[in-house]
Chains A and B, each alone.
Chain A
Amino acid sequence: MNMKRRLFLKGTLASTTIALAAGAGLITPQQLLAAWPESAFGAKSVDDAYSAIGGGARTPSDAVMIKAPQIAENGAVVPITVSSTLKGVTRIAILVEKNATPLVALYQLPTGTHPYVSTRIKMGKTSNVIAMIEAEGALYTAEKEVKVTIGGCGG
């Protein structure tokens, strides 16, 4: 993360002040958010997203676990938990293969933080959800299909 920005934020400017400053053209959001990997989040395919976050050879692994519903109760709110039994995990990425821009979230895990993150994501249609984990410099992946349906007619 951009240290300058963190210091800047630490200067306890209230959020509204930052927004005002940005609005007045004093600073731009891009300046503030230099650390956000725009090329990765803007990538239109899983492979492009991988290369943008510094991809390399990836190994599918049972040690990467994805907890997700078989069928989403609501495609706009799909709970996903990624965890791993691997040691030395430094990064976790969550991607949705068939979303227009597949990369959803990227987590940096300092030492002492467990390889376990849980969040809720949007899915436009049935797709594989992919978890990629970086552990001791190597990349591991797992995927799980989540179905998005129109519902009704049960029972």
Chain B
Amino acid sequence: MAGSIKIRAKIESDGACEVKALIKHTMETGMRKDKDGEKIPAKFIQEILCKHGDKVVLETNWGGAVSKNPYISFRFDGASKGDKIELSWTDNTGESDAAEAIIK
């Protein structure tokens, strides 16, 4: 799933860094059936981890009720323009991906 993550991080007028990320992922709950009536197996992101340098700035657990192609946005203090931010996800099948962005 390399390349599944798009990140934008920007220092806002109050000095906080706002992170917005969009992840390409099916987020299948495991409850849906396909057109032949077969259950579509569960496949959804369970964990998101976001780090500013070495510091964890957000840890997240998700269930299958987060929408397909999930979006996450949050804000934290202590970052500067040009710093690196890293975001990674892991789903219930063990698949994962990570991406980095430079704070604008």
- Chain A contacts with B in 99-140, Cβ cutoff 8 A: 99-101, 103-110, 112-114, 116-123
Q: B residues touching A (Cβ–Cβ < 8 Å)?
A: 1-2, 16, 27, 29, 31, 46-47, 49, 55-68, 70-78, 88, 90, 92-97
Cα–Cα, bound, A114→B29 (Å):
29
Cα–Cα, bound, A104→B61 (Å):
9
Q: Are B67 and A105 in contact (CB under 8 A)?
A: no
Task: Give the shortest distance, in Å, between A79 (CB) and chain B (any CB).
Answer: 8
Label chain B's interface by main secondary structure. strand
Q: Are A122 and B61 in contact (CB under 8 A)?
A: no
Q: Are A112 and B76 in contact (CB under 8 A)?
A: yes
Q: Are B66 and A121 in contact (CB under 8 A)?
A: yes
**Which segment of A34-42, A55-63, A142-150 sits at the interface?**
A34-42
Q: Are B78 and A101 in contact (CB under 8 A)?
A: no
Given contacts A33-B47, A114-B74, A122-B65, 9 further A-B contacts (CB under 8 A): A15-B94, A18-B94, A81-B73, A106-B60, A112-B77, A114-B76, A118-B71, A120-B70, A122-B64
Interface range for A: 35 or more
Q: A residues touching B (Cβ–Cβ < 8 Å)?
A: 1, 6, 9, 14-16, 18-19, 21-22, 27, 29, 32-33, 35-37, 41, 76-79, 81, 96, 99-101, 103-110, 112-114, 116-123
Cα–Cα, bound, A19→B74 (Å):
29
Cα–Cα, bound, A120→B95 (Å):
21
Q: Contact partner of A114 among B16, B47, B60, B88, CB < 8 A? A: B16
